[in-house]
A and B are shown apart, each in its own frame.
Chain A
Amino acid sequence: MTHKTKLTVLTLCAALFMAGPAMAKPGTADKGKEIYNKRCTWCHGDEGAGDGAAMDRLNPPPRDFTSGNYKIKTSSFDEMTPSDDDVFRMIRDGMPGTAMPSWKELLSEQDMWDLVAYVKSFAGFDKPPAKAVDYGTQIASSAESIEKGKQLFEDGDRCVECHGKTGKGSAIKRLKGDAGERTWPRNLTKPWTFRGSNDPKDIFTRISTGIPGTEMPSFADPSSKKKLSVEERWHVANYVASLAKTDKAVNAENTVVKADMVEGELPATPDDERWEASTPTTFILVPQIIGEERFFRPSNDTITVRAMYNDKNVAMLLEWDDRTKSIPGDGDAEKLADAPIAEDGVAVQLPVVIPREMQKPYFGMGDAANPVNIWHWKSGSAGAPETTSLLSSKGFKEIEKRNAADVGLMSKASYDNGTWKVVMTRPLTTSAADKDIQFVEGKFIPVAFAAWDGSNFSEKGSKHTMTTWYWMLLKPATGSRPLVTALVIALLFLGGLLWWARSAGQATAAGNKY
């Protein structure tokens, strides 16, 4: 390729690259206002101050456009104004992990550009930003780059100060947003919750320009003690992208907790290595909004479950990310919590009778005809150890608290760097079949979960996150039966075919004789 053709190709590529949103017609603020009043005002408010009717029931709260702080922007750190593309992109793609949806299915491109024009007017932005983030030359991810990124991430507590060594954003200090709201450092192991995507280029942008309106600073700012060069920022971006823990991603097709049969003792602790061999299943936790008192601002988002059983017991390992270890009475924990602090907790819900048909107990703590068992673990307080209780429930109002030890229900917990792990164990059968579930292998057993983060708006009692019914299956040990049966069937087929061929051969021979 000659130099000239190379240049032509590059120019063409650049032209193609710049096409896209930037080519669209500029929007009209007046038209944008009309769309805004129909679609956006509910959360962001009539005057764009983030004070719509939904304000107090969203976490994070809706953006206040009058503040001029745009969290996800590509303009330089010393530049408040976002580019039109930045605003357009948030409208078009939405923000994962928040109530802001993607509007591209309901609004036309032009509608969205009109909105951009109107939304920008709330902060009086009338000129495009003078400077954009300087990307230099992107450094592709490699083991070497990730290693360098890790060093920079940890050096002088640069990122670790808030995100922690594991990147899970477990609480080290209280952070605040520009509206005075509590904010949390992003859990970098869950990239599907990144507001502005987990593409290394997006991560680079966040590191470079910071997240306005939060305590996430710019690492491109030369006056910062923690500043990083363009090259170093690419390494950190590659490292952050490498932190993803995909076993904690929800797979909508996977709705069954699969318990393997094991020989010998079940793992009694959450950190037993044998759990690694067990298949994890992750479920979405949603806030409890069906019964009084409702709860709208959750912090726990998913729960990952593993299970095993032997000839006597069944054990479940419940694992969920919770940035705060909430221990009432513990000074450090109370400092980090939204007062008043409550205990952390987790619960498993199972029907007392495994349904034979499709009908199950009501998913919210059962109903009069179909009671449920609830195994409830609580983290304990400074003066009291963790507890495990057993509830028999026939709905929100008919709950009988029972002694867990009587049926052999036990739990063991560990907390490490923003993750709780709790193992719950119970004998497969109990002496009270009318009150307790009797586990049977090979049957699909409805199961549901709940979790409490006691540091988050005092989650307690009915204020918690939960799942709807999913399934649990004690996988029957198959042994050699399928293999033996398969061999017998194959031999029968072979015998039949040979017999057919033989008798057909005889008939032909006989036919030839006459």
Chain B
Amino acid sequence: MNMTKKRLIPRLLQMALVVVAVYFTFILVFDVLLGQLIPKSLLTMYMVFVIAGVVMVFTFTEQGAQELAGPIKALVEDPSRKMVRNVVFVIVPLLAGYYTYSSMLPSFEAPVELRTIHPAPPNKFKAYGKSFNLTTLENPYRKFEKEDPVKFKELVKEGGNVYIQNCQYCHGDRLDGKGPYASGLNPTPLNFQDVGTIAQLQESFLFWRISTGGPGLPAEAAPWISSMPVWQNFLTEDEIWKVILFLYDYTGRRPRSWANE
């Protein structure tokens, strides 16, 4: 006796469709829209959760579970479906065998490495042989923006010259992180035009990142692969502060500050 009403799409197919739809939504959102490829291993993990969830929903009631299993049971038990059954009995073992075979072949996909892009800054750090307090550190030249715009413009120009002689190789003429050598680096250089980078940071954070470079990063930010040089070895404190002025001026972004919070 079939107690359930006739459905347009059978429950089993519905379930399969939901899973497939979720899969392609992941691909669409991350790979296509956001341009952030999801590593295969991560996607597999997500899909395991999705499938588990979908199965739970679809088998929540006794009746739902029966309806879901119905077509499968019928396939095995109903003598009139012998032909389909034989086909399925050939395909399923073949698929299982193929999956086993391909998963046992060694993979050459590089391991996925996750790192923190904006690590939490320390309260204090050492550079130029002295200690800096990040909570009180300010750009000594910022005040000229209002007090002496002509002088400020000169400072920005000086910062630009430092930038073009030192930073453009990686961060680029356009400050978009696509300098001539950017593609040879991993992680890729930061894009200062992006609203998610310097616009979200205080000038003191930039000073910390520039002066101590990759090796000054905390462990969660993988200091061993960052190609950011330790700029206190090459630039003076003044030069770093001027470069910071230039970064904000060129991109039209504003630094965050305690005063504005």
Contact = CB atoms under 8 A, between A and B. Distances in A.
B104 interface: yes
A476 B104 CA distance: 11
A57 B165 contact: yes
B67 interface: no
Given A42-B173, A360-B224, A444 B89 contact: no
B15 interface: no
Interface residues of A, number: 68
B77 A504 contact: yes
A99 B168 contact: yes
B173 A486 contact: no
Contacts of B25: none
B184 A285 contact: yes
B224 A367 contact: yes
A362 B223 contact: yes
Contacts of A358: 111, 113-114, 222
A486 B100 contact: yes
A467 B50 CA distance: 40
Contacts of A497: 88-89, 92-93
Interface in B175-193: 176, 178-181, 183-186, 193
B93 A494 contact: yes
B97 interface: yes
Interface residues of B, number: 58
A359 B214 CA distance: 14
A442 B174 contact: no
Interface stretch (A172-180, A215-223, A286-294, A414-422): A286-294
**Which of B76, B113, B222, B230 has the most chain A CB within a 10 Å cutoff?**
B76
Interface string A248-292: 001010011010000000000000000000000001111101111
Interface in A194-235: none
A507 B85 CA distance: 17
B227 interface: yes
A52 interface: yes
B86 to A, nearest CB: 10
A101 B176 CA distance: 11
Interface stretch (A384-392, A430-438, A477-485): A477-485
Given A42-B173, A363-B227, A53 B164 contact: yes
B247 to A, nearest CB: 13
B108 A258 contact: yes
A508 B213 CA distance: 74
A287 B169 contact: yes
Interface string B121-165: 000000000000000000000000000000000000000110111
Contact of A54 (B164, B193, B219, B233): B164
B174 A294 contact: no
Given A53-B161, A367-B224, A481-B104, A292 B180 contact: no
A486 B185 contact: no
Nearest to B90: A494
Contacts of A483: 101
B180 A99 contact: yes
Contacts of B120: none
Contact of A105 (B104, B174, B185): B174
B255 interface: no
A475 B164 contact: no
Contacts of B185: 286, 468
Contacts of A38: 250
Nearest to A355: B224
Nearest to B114: A358
Nearest to A42: B164
B105 interface: yes
Contact of B225 (A101, A283, A294, A363): A363
A287 B166 CA distance: 12
A208 B13 CA distance: 64
Contact of B227 (A294, A370, A468, A501): A468
B30 interface: no
A476 B106 contact: yes
Contact of B224 (A98, A359, A471, A476): A359
A373 to B, nearest CB: 16
A135 interface: no
A473 interface: yes
Given A362-B223, A362-B224, A476-B106, A485 B100 contact: yes
B227 A290 contact: yes
Nearest to A106: B174
Contacts of A505: 77
Nearest to A361: B224
A444 B164 contact: no
Contacts of B165: 53-54, 57
Interface in B196-234: 213-215, 219, 222-225, 227, 229-230, 233-234
B184 A467 contact: yes
A473 B108 contact: yes
B94 interface: yes
Given A486-B97, A501-B76, A504-B76, A284 B184 contact: yes
A253 to B, nearest CB: 9
**Shortest 10 CB-CB distances between A and B: which pairs?**
A490-B97, A284-B184, A482-B104, A486-B101, A53-B161, A493-B93, A42-B164, A286-B181, A286-B184, A490-B93
Interface of A: 38-39, 42-43, 52-54, 57, 98-101, 103, 105-106, 250, 252, 255-256, 258, 283-287, 289-292, 294, 296, 358-363, 367, 370, 442, 444, 467-469, 471, 473, 475-476, 478, 481-483, 485-487, 489-491, 493-494, 497-498, 500-501, 504-505, 507-508
Interface of B: 73, 76-77, 85, 88-89, 92-94, 96-98, 100-101, 104-106, 108-111, 113-114, 160-161, 163-166, 168-169, 172-174, 176, 178-181, 183-186, 193, 213-215, 219, 222-225, 227, 229-230, 233-234, 250
18 contacts: A42-B173, A53-B161, A53-B164, A54-B168, A255-B110, A284-B181, A286-B169, A287-B181, A289-B169, A291-B233, A292-B233, A359-B224, A468-B227, A485-B104, A489-B100, A490-B96, A497-B89, A500-B76
